[in-house]
Amino acid sequence: MRFTNKVAVITGAANGLGLDAAQGFAREGAKVLLVDRDPSGEAQAAALRAEGHDARFRQADVTRDAEVRGYVTEAVDAWGGIHCFFNNAGIEGYVRPIVDQDEEMFDAVMAVNVKGVFLGLKHVLPVMLRQGSGAVVNTASTAALVGSAGIAPYTASKHAVLGLTRSVSGEVARQGVRVNALCPGPTDTRMIHSLEDQAGALGGSNDVAERYKAAIPLGRYATPGEVTAMVLFLCSDVASAITGGQFQVDGGRTACPGGSALR
């Protein structure tokens, strides 16, 4: 039980990677605060409590300073601190050429994916600094490492997450706090299926999923559990010398972007 007596806060926790990570932390002994603007997160927290875990839900919009301060305060008031922070909330925006991108959606993507990460860091890090310890994992993407045609706003936002991670890790390392970036490739969650649907509608194609998978050397999407395993590792004491890094869980996609011809 790697996280017994530890407190983990996870944003974007009502579904997808955030929910899987919340379940993983809880089953490894952590007290868990699920944060999401989607109220269905309460049912997910209740399911964890029914399994015997100490879990709470806080409905919050990560783009609003007061609501971020609110979820941080709830965790500290309930359990006395925050040891692990999975700064994960994000949205994909539209799949379309940059000339057809909508300004309102661009602003929304930047607000959730960049400002949300910034505010989480701004308000969680003081708690960890007072403790003299803590681990943060910011969700970036393989889109933080390479360009991705058709999703320029999302790609730009994830490059920004990587920049925040690198800068902030240097600010807090001497105080015992570690900050790393998670870079998942296509993962079997709602987000990738939304991108598939949008790309298929844009190009009049029904084989988008097959083409996406063909570009991954492993030939498949990652599972949420495979991504959670990296999050738990980075937040654990086993990773005590790791900070300021970027960690891909992408089936080899960024190492070999064309996939494998040997099939």
Residues labelled catalytic: 154
Q: Pseudo-torsion of CA 61, 66, 70, 72, nearest 10°?
A: 90
What residue has token string 């011809």? 261
Q: Please give the structure tokens belonging to residue 219.
A: 């030939």
Torsion of CA 62, 68, 71, 72, to 10 degrees: 130
Q: Are the C-beta atoms of residues 18 and 10 closer than 8 Å to each other? A: yes
**Contact present, 22 and 47 (Cβ < 8 Å):** no
CA distances from 48 to 44, 54, 55, 88, 149 (A): 6, 7, 6, 19, 39
Measuring CA to CA, how many Å separate 18 from each of 92, 98, 230? 15, 29, 13
Q: Give how far Cα 246 sits from Cα of 12, 167, 180, 239, 242, Å.
A: 20, 13, 6, 13, 10
Beta strands 84-87 and 7-11 are parallel
Closest Cα partner for 68 from 128, 138, 117? 117
Distance CA 130, CA 95 (A): 42
